[in-house]
């Protein structure tokens, strides 16, 4: 079957992805001048009883998602149920990958970034639950991670959502992804919003540790509840942080839904004490940094990063410690802008987005913070951490790839940090020209 040139009013510009059940196209709405994603079902699958059930699921997804207007949920613009035409719905086109893809690429697993992501997921779920919609398939593949300045997330795929008081509500059927099932879902029982919270806790654990709870351990938690043995990977965190993490996760992963957090808002509130906790940034070996091309070697550097964010004064690897500088008196608006710039810098640093892309990276954010408050210690230490990570990456690459590529990356680093003597020395060692 040839690909359609148009679906409804949308021009079809290409394929974004496809699977056994259908194709997602990149489309264009010529009326308003914006790109869209168009989800379809293969017509050959719509025959017989199975086809009717598949079409009903497709309808449920559209019905659920079209009711949800929230910044962390991908919105649906239009739905065409089918008839003589191919069933489809058009939704927001999002530039980004799923958390599943980022985890496979070797995403940093640390407390700050995990809280940033899960906080947004819980905000979206709180909203959908208030609307009477339970997602029932929360997992990394259904959470898109955008590389914008805020590292926003968006939930997708409400295809098995339970809509309260709907003729499409199904109980006694196992629908979802087994690895992220709640105990009641794994037993085919009726689920409610607390099942989404259980699945969210499993995703959070994965973001904290870069490891899934194994199927064996997950099955054990279903019967007996989670124990410290199941959460052993959290021992990478400081003792007080471990205590808080385990307390929240034990409750969120309780076998009995009545013993869990009873709402996404309750779960989110329980995370607040963790927001100021220092935590290590863990990196897998043999991976690439998100948004860049250089391999990372961050074992020592991440410890230094934790130290400076915890307020420890470390001597700078380039020769001197950051000393307190006179602070600028800021009004409320400037203080908010400064806090925003520092948070963006920390997030960029956490995912390894150091000096690229232009205008949306850690160095840029910290430099903008210094424009607001030239004596800001956090921003100055942040820039030093960027330089340390860059130097480690460049030194690790030596002899591993094309010399010209290394010189090109070093040239960008020298442009951003023209006074860094280590970069200048490495430039000479590599005999770069330009």
For the annotated catalytic residues, the residue numbers are 137
First and final CA of the chain: distance in angstroms? 53
Nearest to 180 by CA among 197, 195, 156, 202: 202
SS3 assignment, position 342: helix
Q: How far apart are CA 296 and CA 114, in angstroms?
A: 20
Instruction: Check: CB of residue 9 under 8 Å from CB of residue 3.
Output: no
Q: How far apart are CA 354 and CA 388, in angstroms?
A: 10
**C-alpha 194: how far from its chain's center?**
22
Contacts of 269 (CB under 8 A, 6+ apart): none
Angle between helices 111-130 and 332-350 (to 10 degrees): 110
SS3 assignment, position 208: helix
Strand partners, 11: 6, 28
- DSSP string computed for 261-303: -SSHHHHHHHHGGGTT----EE--TT-B-TTSSSBP--HHHHH
C-alpha pair distances (Å), 44 with each of 60, 85, 154: 20, 12, 31
**C-alpha 28: how far from its chain's center?**
26
C-alpha pair distances (Å), 291 with each of 107, 311, 352: 11, 28, 8
- Strand ranges (E), 127-284: 133-134, 143-145, 153-155, 162-163, 281-282
- DSSP string computed for 10-64: EEEEEEEEE-SS-EEEEEEETTTTEEEEEEE--GGG-SHHHHHHHHHHHHHHHHH
And the tokens for 166? 């709907």
Instruction: Check: CB of residue 354 under 8 Å from CB of residue 412.
Output: no
């Amino acid at each position: 079957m040839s690909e359609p040139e148009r679906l409804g009013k949308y021009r079809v510009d290409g394929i974004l992805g496809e699977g056994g059940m259908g194709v997602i196209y990149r489309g264009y709405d010529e009326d308003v001048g914006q790109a869209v994603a168009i989800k379809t079902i293969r017509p050959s699958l719509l025959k017989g009883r199975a086809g009717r059930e598949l079409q009903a699921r497709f309808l449920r997804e559209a019905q659920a998602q079209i009711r949800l207007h929230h910044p962390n949920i991908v919105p649906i613009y239009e739905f065409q149920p089918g008839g003589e035409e191919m069933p489809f719905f058009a939704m927001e086109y999002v530039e980004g990958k799923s958390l599943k893809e980022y985890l496979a690429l070797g995403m940093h697993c640390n407390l700050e970034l995990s809280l940033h992501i899960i906080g947004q997921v819980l905000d979206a779920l709180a909203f959908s639950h208030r609307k009477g919609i339970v997602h029932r398939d929360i997992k990394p593949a259904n959470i898109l991670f955008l590389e914008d300045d805020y590292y926003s997330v968006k939930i997708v795929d409400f295809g098995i959502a339970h809509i309260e008081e709907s003729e499409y509500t199904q109980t006694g059927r196992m629908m979802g992804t087994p690895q992220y099932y709640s105990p009641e879902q794994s037993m085919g029982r009726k689920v409610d919003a607390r099942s989404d919270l259980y699945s969210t806790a499993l995703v959070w654990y994965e973001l904290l540790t870069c490891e899934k709870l194994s199927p064996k351990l997950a099955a054990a938690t279903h019967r007996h509840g989670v124990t410290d043995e199941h959460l052993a990977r959290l021992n990478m965190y400081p003792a007080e942080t471990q205590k808080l993490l385990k307390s929240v996760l034990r409750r969120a992963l309780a076998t009995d839904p009545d013993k869990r957090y009873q709402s996404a808002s309750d779960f989110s509130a329980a995370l607040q004490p963790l927001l100021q906790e220092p935590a290590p940034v863990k990196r897998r070996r043999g991976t690439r940094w998100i948004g860049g091309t250089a391999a990372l070697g961050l074992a020592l550097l991440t410890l230094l990063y934790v130290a400076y964010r915890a307020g420890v004064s470390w001597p700078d690897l380039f020769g001197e410690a950051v000393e307190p500088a006179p602070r600028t008196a800021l009004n409320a608006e400037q203080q908010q802008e400064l806090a925003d710039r520092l948070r963006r810098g920390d997030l960029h640093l956490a995912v390894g987005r150091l000096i690229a892309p232009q205008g949306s990276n850690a160095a840029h954010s910290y430099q903008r913070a210094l424009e607001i408050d030239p004596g800001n210690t956090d921003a100055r230490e942040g820039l030093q951490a960027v330089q340390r990570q860059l130097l480690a990456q460049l030194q690790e690459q030596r002899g591993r790839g094309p010399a010209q590529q290394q010189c090109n990356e070093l040239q960008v680093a020298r442009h951003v940090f023209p006074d860094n003597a280590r970069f200048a020395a490495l430039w000479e060692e590599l005999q770069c020209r330009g």
